[in-house]
Amino acid sequence: MTETAHISQAGVRLVFVTGPSGAGRATAIHALEDLGFEAIDNLPLAMVPRLLTGPPPERPLALGIDARTRDFSPELMLETIADLRAQGGMRIDVLFLESSDDVLLRRFSETRRRHPLAPGSDPASGIAVEKTLLESVRAAADILIDTSDLSPHELRSEIGNWFGGKGQANEALSVTVQSFSYKRGMPRGLDMALDVRFLKNPYWDAALRPLDGRSEDVGTHIRADSRFVEFFERMSGLVTSLLPAYQEEGKAHFSIGFGCTGGQHRSVFVAEELAKTLAAKGWQVSIRHEEIERRRGGADNRGSV
């Protein structure tokens, strides 16, 4: 039996996040953390009861448990959950993430990771072993999410639908504002995309061409376009009116992208300006400039406002 004596955690919410390697457990853990959960990954099962013997946690708990966890066995995991439920007073959910074998195999191939249950052989064998190992846990899951066709952003949204609730503070919804080049195509996972190629292009000014939209000179050039002020006021007003509605629906993340020809001047400037506007209104905002990251190897181009 697991150690469950003297646990008194009435009102505590506890989510066990599990599933086969590569199915998105880490993304789900991070999404729950963004929703206000205290997230602990790969906690040994023997430590779970001890975690709950002290003062009640101030936030709901999300525990990442999988085959890599020290002392893991399906029997021990299910026994631990059953014992905790027998104590009463806690709300406990088992969130199981799964994916098709071919998608898992592709994910391991793309990342060149070794499967934790088959480090010295083909990941396919590890996938098969792990799925068999987790069959009983899957059967006992309260929430089952198939991530085969989900991007990380879509998975985060799905987690928000299940665990986000309503009426949370602004920090419960994170906003990503990004710029991109239409030459390379639109990024995946955007909730909203706007084409800003109608604005005056700094590229045609030789002095501005080597700069990007974070430059004050580039910003002055774009602001001089008579169409900019009306566009920005209407666009930012639309976004700020939509964000509370998305939040009320339990959405955890909203992503808006701005595209221009090269992804260097106009889209970058508009993204920066919107990020500042949203941050001033209290939203948690991160910025990504796809083309600048690509040109500079991803260094120094992502941040939060």
The segment with the largest mean pLDDT, out of 60-69, 202-211, 247-256, 292-301, is: 202-211
Give the residue among 177, 187, 188, 213 at the shortest CA–CA distance from 286: 177
**Residue type at position 127:** I
The least confident of 109-123, 135-149, 199-213 is 109-123
Q: Mean pLDDT throughout 38-61?
A: 85
pTM beyond 0.85: no
Q: Is the dihedral of CA 238, 244, 246, 249 positive or negative?
A: negative
pLDDT at 116 exceeding the cut of 70: no
Residue 37 three-state SS:
coil
What string of DSSP letters covers 154-178?
Answer: HHHHHHHHHH--SS--GGGSEEEEE
Instruction: State the CB neighbour count (10 A cutoff) for residue 148.
Output: 13
pLDDT at 299 exceeding the cut of 50: no
Q: Is the dihedral of CA 151, 154, 159, 162 positive or negative?
A: negative
Q: Identify the pLDDT of residue 257.
A: 96
Sorted by where each starts, the structural domains of the chain and their CATH numbers stand as 13-163 (3.40.50.300), 170-304 (no CATH)
pLDDT at 167 exceeding the cut of 50: no
User: What whole-number distance in Å separates Cα of residue 274 and Cα of residue 233?
Assistant: 10
**Which residues fall within 8 angstroms of residue 114, CB to CB, at 6 or more apart?**
108, 120, 123
Q: Identify the pLDDT of residue 120.
A: 58
Torsion angle of the four alpha carbons 63, 67, 68, 69, in this order, in degrees rounded to the nearest 10: 40
Report DSSP state, residue 182: G
The segment with the largest mean pLDDT, out of 55-59, 98-102, 143-147, 221-225, is: 221-225
Predicted confidence band at 225 (pLDDT cuts at 50, 70, 90)? very high
User: What whole-number distance in Å separates Cα of residue 246 and Cα of residue 249?
Assistant: 5
User: Are residues 59 and 38 in contact, defined by beta-carbon separation less than 8 angstroms?
Assistant: yes
Q: Mean pLDDT throughout 44-69?
A: 84
201 has which bridge partners? Answer: none
Q: Identify the pLDDT of residue 303.
A: 47
pLDDT at 296 exceeding the cut of 70: no
Q: Identify the pLDDT of residue 62.
A: 94
Structure tokens at 154: 């879509």
Give the residue among 272, 277, 13 at the shortest CA–CA distance from 162: 13
